[in-house]
Amino acid sequence: MLNKDVVVLSHIDKIYGENTKFPTQVLYDINLSFEDGSFNSIIGQSGSGKSTLLNILGTLDRPSNGSIEIQGIDTAKMKKNALAKLRNETIGFIFQFHYLLPEFTALENVLMPYRISKKPITKEVMDRANDLLDLVGLSKVKNNLAVNMSGGQQQRTAIARSLMNNPKIILADEPTGNLDSDTTEQIYELLRQINKTYKTTFIIITHDRHIAEKADRIIEIKDGKINLDLRQ
């Protein structure tokens, strides 16, 4: 393993309903590693196993076989609470359906990962949250409830939130899936800018070729296997 790799997946299998009459294998012996600071895209037909792979990468789900090392630490032996802490500190998630907490404002949503870490909210932390909202161009609507924002604004809030704890890795599952093409372009530019500025590793599932073709690396998943692993 190269030291430069932030995530290493080895021999990952995923079988849903393992102990039922009809187990379905979704991932087959996946071996992948991602370089620190790289911008990666994952493409593939719907149902090919992309989300399953990303969820395993993000420790939201466990593989049936194989191991995931995040920053050199094997996650297989970690308990639920330790994994939660790891997610909180090292991984930012961006989902297709934004998944903001509708009861909270944009600013509060952005602060949430920090509050979950239970560290005291200092002025610096507030400044960071505000800066991030500035970065995604939402300073004006930061006190709006999440439900009172447009799809693009919600997604940008989710991006700001994913950055709050300065994670090493950002995992995005079709982040522009239901946005118009202008907004998609803006979001892409934003992600790329963050990737350049903070050296954050991005792993993005996308159906949008305009995003995929600009990534440093394109991984195509087909029927639960890596069909192509392309670099520029």
Partner 1 sequence: MKKAYYDTFIKYLDQENKDKSVEYVMSLLKSKSITLEECYLNLLSASLSNFVCKEEDEDLCIWKEHTRTSIVRTILEATYPYVIERKNAVSDKKKSVVVVCPSEEYHEIGAIIVSHYFAMNGYESLYIGANTPKNDIVSAVKVIQPDILAISVTNYYNLVVTKKITQEVKQQFPHVKIVVGGLAFHHPDSLSQIVYDKHLTSLDDIAHIEEELQ
Partner 2 sequence: MKLAFSIAKRFLLSGKGQTIMIVLGIAIGVSVQVFIGSLITGLQKSLVDKTIGSSSQVTVSTLDSTAYITNFQDQLSVIQASDNMITVASPAINQNGALVVGEQSEPVLARGFDFNLANDIYHFDEKLVSGRLPQSANEIAVGSNLLENLSLALNDEVTFQVPLVGDTTFTIVGVYDFNVKTINETWILTTLATLQTIKSISSNEVSSIEMQISDVFAAETVALNVQTALQNDNLTVDNWIANNAELLSGLQGQSTSSLMIQVFVMLSVILGIASVLAITVLQKSKQIGILKAMGIQDKDASLVFLLEGFILGIFGAALGVGFGLGLSVMFTTFAIGADGNPVVPLFIDYGFIGLSAMIAVAAATIASLIPARKSSKLSVIEVIRNA
Applying CB under 6 A, does 51 fall inside the site for ligand ADP? Answer: yes
Rounded CA separation 156/179 (Å): 11
Rounded CA separation 101/228 (Å): 36
Rounded CA separation 79/200 (Å): 26
* Residues with Cβ within 8 Å of residue 59, at least 6 apart in sequence: 68, 70, 75, 78, 83, 86, 87, 91
Answer for the pair 9, 31: CB distance below 8 angstroms, yes or no.
yes
Applying CB under 6 A, does 44 fall inside the site for ligand ADP? Answer: yes
Applying CB under 6 A, does 28 fall inside the site for ligand ADP? Answer: no
Applying CB under 8 A, does 209 fall inside the site for partner 1? Answer: yes
CA 34 from centre of chain: 13
Amino acid letter, 179: L
Positions in 39-78 near Mg ion (CB under 5 A): 51
Answer for the pair 101, 154: CB distance below 8 angstroms, yes or no.
no
Residue closer to ligand ADP, measured from CB, 23 or 72? 23
Rounded CA separation 188/211 (Å): 7
Number of residues that bind ligand ADP (CB under 6 A): 12
Q: Which of partner 1, ligand ADP, partner 2, none interacts with 128 (beta carbon under 5 to 8 A by kind)? A: none
Rounded CA separation 77/129 (Å): 33
Q: Which stretch binds partner 1 (CB under 8 A): 63-71, 115-123, 129-137, 220-228?
A: 220-228
CA 125 from centre of chain: 22
Q: Which stretch binds ligand ADP (CB under 6 A): 16-24, 29-37, 104-112, 156-164?
A: 16-24
Instruction: State in angstroms the smallest separation of the CB of 31 from Mg ion.
Output: 21
Applying CB under 8 A, does 104 fall inside the site for partner 2? Answer: yes
Q: Which stretch binds partner 1 (CB under 8 A): 48-56, 74-82, 114-122, 209-217?
A: 209-217
Q: List contacts with partner 2 (CB under 8 A).
A: 51, 55, 58, 60-61, 80-81, 84-89, 93, 95-97, 99-104, 112-113, 115-118, 161
The residues of the shown chain that bind Mg ion, judged by CB under 5 A, are 51
Binding residues vs ligand ADP (CB under 6 A): 16-17, 24, 26, 44, 46-52
